[in-house]
Amino acid sequence: MSVQRTLAIIKPDAVASGKIGPIIARIEAAGLTILAARLARLSAEQAAGFYIVHKARPFYGSLCAFMTQGPCLPMVLEGEDAIQRWRDLMGATDPAKAAAGTIRKEFASSIEANAVHGSDAPATAATEITYFFNALEIH
Ligand code: CMP
């Protein structure tokens, strides 16, 4: 294990339903440190670029539309084994399959509107962090 950084996003569904506070409380209770955070309203191009790896998937267009429907809250989290620990807090992509007590089980409504995002590996985290934050914005 090592100290890692990961990109977390509180997605538009969870921002709109007033879940920023409860989700950040879980992050802080888990001992992960928030190094950067900013509300962002993604353009269609920004959403499409962020999810470019899913371009061939049938849900790509709908996913990009969902991500632009309102502001989201991208964050940089840091901590020991942060990538996996944030994914454990999130739960499975599909809230119907997420474990009890996870963020997606409690706050997500569908496999698309699933409340939060987290990087899946160190290389992805580096790319995704840079997508939203420059060095001067990470504290
Ligand atoms: P995320 O962890 O941000 O990574 C890709 C996103 O695509 C995922 O969360 C969901 O929001 C969405 N997604 C994944 N699978 C599906 C699916 N089968 N149908 C609709 N959206 C999906």
Q: What is the pLDDT of residues 34-52, one digit of tens each?
A: 999 999 999 999 999 999 9
User: Using alpha carbons only, what angle is made at residue 30 by residues 24 and 32, rounded to the nearest 5 degrees?
Assistant: 75
Cβ < 6 Å from ligand 1: which residues? 54, 59, 63, 93, 111-112, 114, 117
Residues annotated as catalytic (active site), given as ranges: 117
Ligand 1 pocket test: which of 10, 86, 93 has the largest number of ligand atoms within 8 Å of its C-beta? 93
Low-confidence ranges of the chain (pLDDT < 70): none
Q: Measuring from atom 11 of ligand 1, which residue has the nearest CA?
A: 112
H or E element that contains 87: helix 82-90
* pLDDT given for residue 120 in this prediction: 98
Q: What pLDDT, on a 0 to 100 scale, did the predictor assign at position 1?
A: 75
Residue 29 CA to residue 42 CA, distance in Å, equals 28
Q: What per-residue confidence (pLDDT) applies to 80?
A: 98
Can you give the pLDDT at residue 49?
A: 98
